[in-house]
Structure 1
Amino acid sequence: APHGTDTTPHGTDGASAGTDGLTGHAVGNLVLCGLMELLGDPVAALEHAGAMLGAVGRVLPMSRQPVGIEARVRGADPAAPDEVHTVSGQHQVAVTTGRVESLRLTPSAPPACAEAIEAIRAADWLIFGPGSWYTSVLPHLLVPQLADAIVSTSARRLVTLNLAAEKETLGLSVADHLAALHWYLPELKVDLVLADAKAVGDPEPVERAAESLGARLVLAPVAVVDGTPRHDPAALGAALVPVLGADR
């Protein structure tokens, strides 16, 4: 879901990623940017986009104000594998070839979208993932008001693990993905972790990482059958039905 991050790609240490400011951005993101400029409010823009597509449900931003992502990345420059640089912009962090060592938002404490806070407080379940860990999942934990709502809500919490590492998480194990949640929000407690058995491999370290968050690991065949690292929507839905319907 769109989460208030900026839509202008920047290179290492703030340098421009190229002469074309639209490079690397999906058409959907550009349409949303146009709607935001037209309507003057990201919530209204997302509701308008949802109505255009006949979408069921509601998409809300993390914040109504522009928010950027910065990462400290080791080896972002292949010629200097031990140097640490700041990589700015959602797209540039997502495609970095170095190892992300830390992540932060700019500004560091943006005001949370009030509707998002209300939705978190009213929810039965909060589901984190699947998605790009550093640029789509973790940023929500870095908005102080959202983090407070995530920790204090009565909703149960489920983490859906990715099937394969992306560029931004190369070098991270499946267990490391769960450890990153604790690193960025130590107060976070999780009820269940859902993962594909083949993608997990040895489940023991993942079980230990899940237990450190207070969670139970649930393994299910949720990937497409052709072997590519993609979730099968029907299989994922079938795996979620008994999980989300379980008693506390």
Structure 2
Amino acid sequence: MRISLLEQILRKIKIKQRDLINISQKTPKKVNRWMKWLSPGLLIKRWLFISSTGVLLIVLGLAIWSKLTPVNRLLELISQLLESITTRVPSYISGPGAFLLGIFLLLWGQNRTLVSITEAFSGGDQELVDRLLNHRRLNRGPKIVAIGGGTGLSTLLRGLKQYSANITAIVTVADDGGSSGRLREEIGVLPPGDIRNCMTALADEEKLLTELFQYRFQAGDGLIGHSFGNLFLTAMTAITGKDFEKAIAASSKVLAIRGKVLPATLSDVRLWAKLDDSRFIEGESHITDAGGNIVQIGCFPSNPPALPAALQAIKEANYIIIGPGSLYTSVIPNLLVPEIREALKKAKIPRIYVCNIMTQPGETQSYTVSDHIKAINQVCGQKIFDAVLVQRVPPSSPALEHYALEDCYPVFLDKENVKGLGYRIVLANVMDEDSITNKISHHPQRLARVLLRWYGKN
């Protein structure tokens, strides 16, 4: 008897929910649009109210200033007009009629105002209100600092920008290969490649500009191999009086990026590494090519000063993410800046390291998760993060075969060693595997979703 009664209640609730869904689907688009404009957080209603109050105060001020004479005359005129209307038209008709006419004029006026505003933008009214709602949501997101370089950091940023506009990417400037290396040697500019990748990753859906910044010249004396973005940043650096920070800020405005991209230092940093066979290798691009086991890493100059804006971003952050990226050539170079190390140690906020999915020849061959952590600890002297994010499910057999040809293998999670070092382990499926090329990388959206979920729990 009780079960049948419960079933009846549940059935009625389902019918009610279905009716509500049908009603919402039948609601005209204009009504839905207006409801969106009334959503909290858009700062529309309060400014309309303040504007109306301002108009009333202006009228009141003028009336008081003129000793109320115009007001008295206006009130007399309105009184006579109302008396004339009510004697000819009954109050139960003239009252509601005037009220409805006022509502119509108010809504019509506001509608035309919004239409006039939206005509200045591409897209319709719905696109604008959605854009405003999204803008408010992103601006209320946590202040995130992401530290790294290479494709790993840009992949992370591509996912994070869907959750917050308060992102600061702190990027290594130790690259000396490819287009960046050539510009560094020939013009003396700091390597722009990783900076460019991060800016385009944070671009606010400006597809054409992003493609332009990533475009790489295929021909031309001196141009071949260079990307337009690298050349643009180099030119902007010269225009701003060799101020690389200003050049990045100006370029960021062109791309309309969400957040900020900052170099870890403005010093001309060059990496060096000692290998287990006693070789001493200089230059980021040469370290990986050397093919040995790295036992120590450093840079020239040995103590480069940090960019003040980067230190301020760490100080104000709500959440710090380190990696993913090549351990010795993308992640650790940022930590070779003493002030950044110290700022990370002092931070009393959630801090997490995103471990690579695969080992990398010449850098982390045969490395486990704890080996990655030990390498960072060796540079920093103590813990700078609280947890490590590790891929849960291994790649497919075709992908493993593909990477085995390059002497790359999944990074093994040695749980006991990681826990013994005092770190929490976050296991999640954040891998993106291309079924055609069998290439593996972190999936931007999955990675960001897992990281934000972990942040919400801490």
What is the TM-score when the length of structure 1 is the normalising length?
Answer: 0.80
Q: What aligned pairs does 1:144-183 form with structure 2 within 5 A after superposition?
A: 144-167=338-361, 168-183=363-378
Match among 439, 445, 451 for residue 228 of structure 1 = 439
1:129-163 Cα offsets, whole Å, 9 max, x none, are 10111011112222111111111122221000111
Name the SS of the counterpart of 1:230 in structure 2. Answer: strand
8 Å contact 1:178–1:210 — kept in the other structure?
no
Matched to 1:36, the amino acid is: T
1:131 maps to which residue? Answer: 325
1:73 maps to which residue? Answer: 275
1:77 maps to which residue? Answer: none
Distance 2:271 2:412 in 1: 33
Matched to 2:305, the amino acid is: P
Matched, 1:7 2:176: yes
Match among 417, 422, 447 for residue 208 of structure 1 = 417
After TM superposition, what 4+ stretches of structure 1 lie above 4 angstroms from structure 2?
28-31, 199-202
Distance 1:161 1:3 in 2: 17
Match among 387, 398, 403 for residue 192 of structure 1 = 387
Cα RMSD for the two superposed structures: 2.8
8 Å contact 1:127–1:160 — kept in the other structure?
yes
2:290 maps to which residue? Answer: 96
Which segment is superposed worse, 31-40 or 160-169?
A: 31-40
Alpha-carbon offset, residue 94 of structure 1: 3.7
Distance 1:88 1:202 in 2: 29
Alpha-carbon offset, residue 238 of structure 1: 2.0
Alpha-carbon offset, residue 114 of structure 1: 0.5
8 Å contact 1:223–1:229 — kept in the other structure?
yes
Go from structure 1 to structure 2 and tell me whether the alpha carbon gap of 1:185 and 1:118 turns closer, same or farther (over 3 Å shift).
same
Distance 2:378 2:356 in 1: 18
Structure 1's unaligned 5+ residue stretches are: 10-16, 75-82
The count of residues paired between Structure 1 and Structure 2 equals 228
Which segment is superposed worse, 130-139 or 31-40?
A: 31-40
Name the SS of the counterpart of 2:273 in structure 1. Answer: strand
Please say which structure displays the higher CA radius of gyration.
2
Go from structure 1 to structure 2 and tell me whether the alpha carbon gap of 1:129 and 1:6 turns closer, same or farther (over 3 Å shift).
closer
Quote the sequence identity (%): 28
2:236 maps to which residue? Answer: 35
Name the SS of the counterpart of 1:217 in structure 2. Answer: strand
**Structure with greater helix percent:** 2
1:108 maps to which residue? Answer: 302
Q: Which has the higher contact order (CA 8 A, sep 6+)?
A: 1
2:87 maps to which residue? Answer: none
1:241 maps to which residue? Answer: 452
Name the SS of the counterpart of 2:352 in structure 1. Answer: strand
Distance 2:239 2:419 in 1: 44
